[in-house]
Structure 1
Amino acid sequence: MKYVSFEISGVPAWGRIDGEKVEQLGEPGTRWPDLKSYLTDQTPADLKPLGVHDLSEVTLLPVIPKPDLIAMAAVNYRKGDAPTDKEPPFPVLFLRLSSSQIGHEAPLIKPASSQKLDFEGELAVIIGKGGRHIPKDRAYDHVAGYSIYNDGSVRDWQKHSHQFTPGKNFVGTGAFGPWMVTPDDLPPLEQGIALRTRVNGVEKQSTDTSKMIFDVPYLINYVSTFAPLVPGDVIVTGTCSGFGSTRTPPEFLREGDVVEVEIEGIGVLRNAVQKERVAVEAV
Structure 2
Amino acid sequence: MRFASYTAQGQPFYGAVTDSGMIALNASCPQWPTLFDAVQENGLGVLAQKAEGQPVTHTDFEFDMVLPNAQRILCVGVNFPDRNAEYKDGSEAPKYMSLFPRFASGFTGHNRPLIRPPENHTLDYEGEVAIVIGKRGRRIAQANAYDHIAALTICNEGTIRDWVRHAKFNVTQGKNWDNSAAMGPWLVPFTDAAQLDDARIITRVNGEVRQDDVLSRMMHPIRREIEYISTFMTLQPGDIIVTGTPTGAGARLDPPQYLKPGDVVEVEVNGIGTLRNPVADETA
The TM-score with structure 1 as length reference comes to: 0.90
Greater Cα offset, 42-51 or 242-251 = 42-51
- SS class of match (1:95): strand
Measured after TM superposition, the shift of residue 185 of structure 1 is 6.7
> Equivalent residue for 1:181?
188
> Equivalent residue for 2:81?
78
Greater Cα offset, 247-256 or 71-80 = 71-80
Contact 2:259–2:279 (CA<8 Å) still a contact in 1? yes
Aligned pairs, number: 273
> Equivalent residue for 2:138?
132
Residue 48 (1) aligns with residue 54 (2): no
Instruction: State how far apart, in whole Å, the 2-side matches of 1:31 and 1:199 are.
Output: 41
User: Measured at CA, do residues 264 and 42 of structure 1 come closer, stay the same or move farther in structure 2, by a change above 3 Å?
Assistant: closer
* TM-align CA RMSD: 2.2
The TM-score with structure 2 as length reference comes to: 0.90
Which amino acid in 1 is paired with 2:11? V
Residue 116 (1) aligns with residue 119 (2): no
Within 5 Å, which residues of 2 pair with 1:159-198? 159-161=165-167, 162-184=169-191, 187-190=194-197, 192-198=198-204
Which amino acid in 2 is paired with 1:172? N
Which amino acid in 1 is paired with 2:56? V
Residue 236 (1) aligns with residue 242 (2): yes
Measured after TM superposition, the shift of residue 174 of structure 1 is 2.0
Instruction: State how far apart, in whole Å, the 1-side matches of 2:29 and 2:138 are.
Output: 31
Instruction: State how far apart, in whole Å, the 2-side matches of 1:23 and 1:29 are.
Output: 12
Residue 4 (1) aligns with residue 7 (2): no
- SS class of match (2:216): helix
- SS class of match (1:206): strand
Deviation string, structure 1 residues 154-175 (Cα, Å, up to 9, x no partner)? 0111111131010000001120
- SS class of match (1:126): strand
Instruction: State how far apart, in whole Å, the 2-side matches of 1:4 and 1:185 are.
Output: 20
Structure 2 stretches lacking a partner, 5+ long: 84-89
Instruction: State how far apart, in whole Å, the 2-side matches of 1:185 and 1:226 are.
Output: 27
Deviation string, structure 1 residues 190-235 (Cα, Å, up to 9, x no partner)? 2x31111011111101101111111111111111222222111100
Instruction: State how far apart, in whole Å, the 2-side matches of 1:40 and 1:222 are.
Output: 22
> Equivalent residue for 1:252?
258
- SS class of match (1:63): coil
> Equivalent residue for 1:17?
17
Aligned pair partner of 2:71 in 68, 72, 75: 68
Contact 1:13–1:28 (CA<8 Å) still a contact in 2? no
Instruction: State how far apart, in whole Å, the 2-side matches of 1:153 and 1:85 are.
Output: 23
> Equivalent residue for 1:281?
none
Structure 1 stretches lacking a partner, 5+ long: 279-283
User: Measured at CA, do residues 137 and 121 of structure 1 come closer, stay the same or move farther in structure 2, by a change above 3 Å?
Assistant: same
Contact 2:146–2:193 (CA<8 Å) still a contact in 1? no
Which amino acid in 2 is paired with 1:169? N
Instruction: State how far apart, in whole Å, the 1-side matches of 2:56 and 2:2 are.
Output: 15
Instruction: State how far apart, in whole Å, the 2-side matches of 1:79 and 1:210 are.
Output: 13
